[in-house]
């Protein structure tokens, strides 16, 4: 074994050790239904000038795809406080059902990311994903997303380019789950932008969301109220 190989083995072992230490649970703990329990959003997302300009242009009535029953991104979905998510680990793939917007995601555990199938079959704008395990943590990489807005809930108006690469790290801890999401986007972010989500295990089942344009566009109706009664309040 030459020096370079020894170094590689050492690095891999270190990563696995670090992962094992960070994850207080086992990967089996990941299976189940999870309820959002809070998130940490960066004070400074490290936007480039183009990113700041895109953020300033954000108009929720025009740019929030949720109002058109089109789920924005996984980053945005995970900010929704009440609809839970369910994780099911299989031998060769992982299924994640997000109650919000009825998003059913399938993540293969082998193959190439660039040629992976769209992770949500009926929403190709959400990109292609590939999963793997590092110790007890599930790591999902996603690419080939549609340019637009990354988040309309937690940090509304954060942009994303088609070059965005996202790493989601699911860290089990018994009945708690931490998901660390690192966004790499050279167009809109000068540094990796990290959001952290906390979940608690919940004894429930995923229900149908049944998004309708009438229900999702309620804000538009409210703004019509504002337009009609500008002098009130």
Partner 1 sequence: MKPPYLLFLSAGVSLLTALAAAAHHSVAINFERGEPIEIRGTVKEAHMRNPHSQYVVDVRGEDGTITEWFVEWSDRNSLVRRGVDLDLIKAGDTVTLTLWPSQRLPNVGYFVQAVLADGSIYRDCGFVQYREAVAKSVRFRCEEGTRAPPQ
Residues that bind partner 1 (CB under 8 A): 35-41, 43-44, 55-56, 58-60, 64, 66, 79-83, 99-100, 152-157, 175, 200-204, 207, 209-212, 215-216, 218-219, 221-223, 225-226, 229, 232-233
Q: In this complex, which beta carbon is closest to partner 1, that of residue 92 or of residue 228?
A: 228
Asked if residues 106 and 124 have their Cβ atoms less than 8 Å apart, the reply is no
Asked if residues 119 and 107 have their Cβ atoms less than 8 Å apart, the reply is yes
Q: In this complex, which beta carbon is closest to partner 1, that of residue 6 or of residue 52?
A: 52
Quick one: DSSP state of residue 101?
Answer: G
Q: In this complex, which beta carbon is closest to partner 1, that of residue 99 or of residue 146?
A: 99
Q: How far is the CB of 59 from partner 1 (least distance, A)?
A: 7
Q: How far is the CB of 126 from partner 1 (least distance, A)?
A: 18
Phi, psi for 11 (deg, rounded to 5):
-65, -45
Closest of 159, 180, 173 to residue 39, by C-alpha? 180
10 Å Cβ neighbour count for 26?
Answer: 13
Q: How far is the CB of 171 from partner 1 (least distance, A)?
A: 17
Q: How far is the CB of 174 from partner 1 (least distance, A)?
A: 11
Phi, psi for 123 (deg, rounded to 5):
-135, 70
């Amino acid at each position: 074994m030459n020096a370079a190989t020894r170094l590689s083995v050492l690095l891999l072992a270190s990563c696995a050790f670090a992962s094992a230490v960070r994850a207080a649970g086992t990967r089996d703990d990941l299976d189940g239904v999870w309820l959002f329990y809070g998130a940490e959003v960066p004070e400074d997302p490290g936007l480039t000038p183009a990113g700041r300009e895109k953020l300033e242009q954000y108009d929720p009535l025009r740019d929030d795809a949720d109002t058109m029953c089109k789920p924005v991104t996984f980053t945005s979905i995970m900010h929704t406080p009440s609809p839970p998510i369910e994780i099911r680990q299989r031998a060769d793939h992982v299924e994640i059902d997000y109650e919000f917007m009825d998003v059913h995601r399938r993540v293969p555990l082998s193959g190439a990311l660039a040629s992976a199938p769209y992770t949500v079959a009926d929403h190709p704008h959400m990109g292609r994903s590939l999963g793997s395990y590092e110790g007890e943590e599930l790591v999902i990489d996603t690419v080939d997303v549609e340019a637009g807005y990354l988040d309309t809930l937690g940090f509304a108006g954060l942009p994303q380019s088609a070059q965005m690469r996202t790493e989601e790290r699911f860290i089990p801890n018994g009945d708690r789950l931490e998901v660390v999401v690192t966004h790499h986007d050279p167009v809109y972010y000068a540094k990796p932008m990290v959001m952290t989500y906390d979940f608690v295990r919940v004894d429930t089942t995923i229900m149908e969301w049944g998004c309708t344009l009438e229900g999702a566009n309620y804000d538009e109706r409210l703004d019509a109220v504002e337009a009609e009664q500008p002098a009130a309040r």
